[in-house]
Amino acid sequence: MNILKTLFPFLAIIGCTTYAQEFEANVQLRPRFEYRNGYKSLLKDGDIPASFISQRSRLNLNFTQDKLKLKLALQNISVWGDVATTSTAAKNGVAVFEAWAEYSFTDKWSSRIGRQVLNYDNQRIMGGIDWIQQGQSHDAVLLTYKDTKNQLDLGVAHNANAENLLAPTTAYTTNYKNMHYAWYHTKISTINASFLFLNTGYEFAATPTELKVDYKQTYGTYLTYKGKKLDFDFGLYGQSGKSAGNDITAFYAGSNIGYALTENFKATLGYEFLSGKDQDDTSTKLKSFIPLFGTNHAFNGFMDYFYVGNHSNNVGLQDAYLKLEFPIKKVKLSVTPHFFYAHSKVIVSTVEQDSYLGTELDLTAAYKVSKDILVVGGYSQMFGTTTLEALKGGDSSKTNNWAWLMININPNIFSTKKQ
C-alpha cells in the first residue's frame, strides 16, 4: 500500500494532460551469490569463509512530456534470509534510488533537479557504482549544454541531515557537505576529450565549539580514441585543497591500449598510478589520491583490496595489468592478471619493504540467456606478499580467493505513447 501511495502522484500525470506523452516501466531483479575467502583483505588464522546471496529489486519509471522528463527508481536491497519467512516487512524497506525532473529550455540547454546518478567518462572519478546492489546517486542540480560535438555539465549540491531550525552543533559526515563541478566533453578530430573540475566540501570540528568546511579540488582530463582494431584511453588528474585543516597534494594517471588481434580476440594492456605517502613521512600533508565517487570495483582487481572503502590516505598504488577478452561459443570470457606495487615506502620496524604487493588473477564469464536475462560469474585469487601483509594484516600464504554468480533479469514491463 505504501508503494502505491508513492507511485500514484507519478502515474496520475499520465492521464491529466493532452500533451504528447511517453511512459515506460521496467523491472530489474538481480540476485548474486558470493563466496568470500580473503575478499578485500588477506585471511588471518582462524578466519572462516563467508557465503551469501544478495538481491537488488528495482522498479524504474520513466515519463516524457514535451520538454519535461521524469524518472523515479525505487529499490529494495536484501540478503536472502535477512528476515523471517513470515516477516511483515523487509529489513531495508523500499528506498528512492533516483527521483529527478529534467526540463529542456531549448534544443541545447536543459536542467535536471533531484536524486540522480552522476556518471562520467570511465567512471574513475564519478560513477554510478552499479556493482554494489544499492548503487550510488546524488541529490543535485544539473545544468547541461549539448550540441553535436560538445557537452558542458554544471552541477551543484548542498547536503544536511534534517530540516534544522538552527545550525547543527555536530559536523555533517553522511556525505560531502557541498559539491560543485564542471565537466566538459568535446571531439577533436578522432580524439574524444573530457575535462573535469570537482570541488567537494567536507565539514569537520575545527574546535569543540566550531565547525568548518574544507574544500578538496579534483581536476584533470580523460582522452579516448577508438579505431577499427586499436583503441586507447588516458586519464590524468590532480587533487589539492584542504581536508580537516591539512593540505592536499595528490596525483593520478592511468592508461589502456587495446588491440583486436582477431574479430573475436582482444588484448588490452593497462597501467594505473595513484600517489601515496611514505609511511615514515611525518608531515601533515595528504599526498594520497582518492578517486572519490568512482566505480572503484571496476579498477585494481575485482577482489576490492584497494580503494573500495579502504586504502585511503595510504601508500598509494601502481597497477599493471593485461586483459584478454574472447568468446567460447556463446560465452564471453575475460582473463585479467593484475600486478600490484606500492607507490610510496612501506616501513616495518624502520626497514623499507619491497614495493611489490602481489598479483591478482580475475576470471569472468557472461552468457546472454535471452533479451532480458544475463548470467555473469567470476573467480578471483590474490597471491599476496609480506608487504601486503604489512599493509593489511593477514597471511599471504593462505589461499585468498573469491567467487560469484549473478543473474540480471531486466524486462520492460510496460510502455505507452500518447499523441
Mean pLDDT, consecutive 10-residue segments, the chain of 419 residues?
51 56 97 98 96 98 97 98 94 97 98 98 98 98 96 98 94 96 96 98 95 97 96 98 96 98 96 97 96 97 97 96 97 98 96 97 98 98 97 96 98 91
**In the prediction, which pLDDT does 3 show?**
52
Which residue, chain included where needed, has cell 576490492?
A: 304
Q: Is the whole model's pTM more than 0.75, yes or no? A: yes
What is the C-alpha to C-alpha distance for residues 96 and 107, in angstroms, rounded to an integer?
A: 29
State the chain's maximal CA–CA distance in angstroms. 75
What is the C-alpha to C-alpha distance for residues 270 and 285, in angstroms, rounded to an integer?
A: 29
Q: Where are the beta strands (DSSP E) in 94-148?
A: 95-104, 109-116, 138-146
In Å, how far from its chain's centre is CA 368?
A: 24
Count the residues in the chain: 419
**In the prediction, which pLDDT does 419 show?**
75
Helix (H) or strand (E) holding 390: helix 386-392
Which residue, chain included where needed, has cell 577482489?
A: 303
**Domains of the chain listed by start with CATH number:** 2-418 (2.40.160.100)
Can you read off the three cell numbers belonging to residue 394? Answer: 593477514
